[in-house]
Amino acid sequence: MWESGVVTDRAERQTDGEGDAVGDGRTGGRELQVLGPLEPPADLSRQPLRAPWNPLDDTEDGRQRSPERPTKKQSAVGRFVRTYGWRAYALPVLLIITVVVGVDAMRAGPTPLLDNPGFGALNPKIKQSGVIGAPPGDGKFPADLPLGALPQGGEYAETGAGTWHIVPGGTPQVGQGTQRVFRYTVEIEDGVDTSSFGGDAAVVKMVETTLGNPKSWTHDPRFAFQRVDNGVPDFRLSLTSRDTTRKSCGFEIPIDSSCYNADLDRVVLSEVRWVRGALAFDGDIGSYRQYQINHEVGHAIGYHSHQPCENDGGLAPVMMQQTFGTRNNDIAALDPHGVVAPDGKNCRFNPWPYPRG
């Protein structure tokens, strides 16, 4: 609305009786005058632009404003599409692609995790004859052996009867076994006294917990294991005396080692190494026994080839001959024509196929 009392500057001419304009000496002939109420301009379009306080008040032309139509509540899907635009349609497609890739990866087997050492290629046919994992070379070694020498330690059986007895008992299947379930027995050579390291039950416990560990071969969904004590197993894990181990593994050598003898379906575990371990393991007998099991079982399930140290300072592959050392130069010295090159690489001992699984 229009307000009164607006102060304006208005010039009034005052005369001195002779028609000349005079001032009061302060405003230069002009003086301030308070005007009366102002009338609004006839042309309403010239009014100042301003929004009405209440949108529902009467309009300028007297018509009543109608309230706005109520907004229809939008569904969750609609809000999602409105918020993300074209990406809302791309997300379902990406989800489908992810599922397809994941299913395909499960069929192909697991990809080794970052920083996990490799373990070579899986042979499509499991070895049916011969010795796998025999000590390298021709059995002729220098007297001053490298790390393959036997550490100091407890007593072991030099000879045994050449026969084995099955430790009674079994376990449920461990692992998925999408391609193969391996049934195995745990056996002790007659003449081997296990009382100094916990008895036959302790040997069984070490085997079961090692193969059942998610860092072992059951990390791969293709494989599963089940311990049995009857029938015909796929292989036999056999703790074996020093002399019988050398005969079963093919060489009479000054280096004690385990092996897998496919002719006997037997994973031959050297009892002297079970007791003494290997220098590369720095006295960690438990880790060496886990390595001993995983390495030889690896041969039995199809990993036939030995591996070198891959990354200097990294973990050794489980299929590396860590009993003889974790330096490529040491193993190459034992077997100059083997798969390991003397490239100076040195790994840290490792008993697991998937140590970071």
What is d(CA 31, CA 28) in angstroms, rounded to the nearest whole number? 8
**pLDDT value at residue 133:** 75
Rounded Cα distance between 117 and 315, Å, is 6
The Cα 122–Cα 319 span in angstroms is 12
Task: For residues 275 and 160, give the distance between their C-alpha atoms in angstroms, rounded to a whole number.
Answer: 16
As beta bridge partners, residue 224 has 181
Per-residue pLDDT, averaged over 276-281, amounts to: 96
pTM summary value: 0.68
DSSP 2-50: --S--EEEE----B-SSS-B---SSSTT-EEEE--PPPPPS-GGGSPP-
Q: Determine the average pLDDT of the residues in 73-92.
A: 63
The predicted model gives 16-34 an average pLDDT of: 44
Q: Where are the domains of the chain?
A: 76-108, 131-334
Report yes or no: 203 and 232 within 8 Å, Cβ to Cβ: no
163-218: pLDDT as tens digits: 999 999 999 999 999 999 999 999 999 999 999 999 999 999 999 999 999 999 99
**H or E element that contains 295:** helix 285-301
Q: What is the pLDDT of residue 86?
A: 59
Residue located via tokens 């994973």: 267
Scan for tokens 């099955």, then name that residue. Answer: 166
Residue 12 CB coordination number (10 Å): 10
For residue 295, what are the contacts with CB-CB under 8 A and spacing of at least 6? Answer: 133, 258, 318, 319, 322
| pLDDT tens per residue across span 221-257 | 999 999 999 999 999 999 999 999 999 998 655 789 9
Backbone angles phi, psi at 186, to 5 degrees: -110, 125
Is the pLDDT assigned to residue 59 strictly greater than 60?
no
As a whole-number percent, the residues of the chain with pLDDT over 90 amount to 53
Question: For a pLDDT cut of 70, what percent of the chain falls above it?
Answer: 63
**Top-confidence residue, 252 or 126:** 126
What is d(CA 32, CA 22) in angstroms, rounded to the nearest whole number? 15
pLDDT of residue 81: 59
Instruction: Please check whether residue 34 is in contact with residue 5, taking contact to mean a CB–CB distance below 8 angstroms.
Output: yes
Domain 131-334 has CATH 3.40.390: yes
Let me know: does 289 contact 316? Beta carbons within 8 Å.
no
Which are the contacts of 248, defined by CB distance < 8 A and separation ≥ 6?
Answer: 131, 240, 259, 261, 264, 266, 268
Which among 284, 301, 302, 286 has a CA at the least distance from the CA of 348? 284
Contact in structure between 276 and 151 (CB atoms under 8 Å): yes
pLDDT band with cut points at 50, 70 and 90 for residue 26: very low
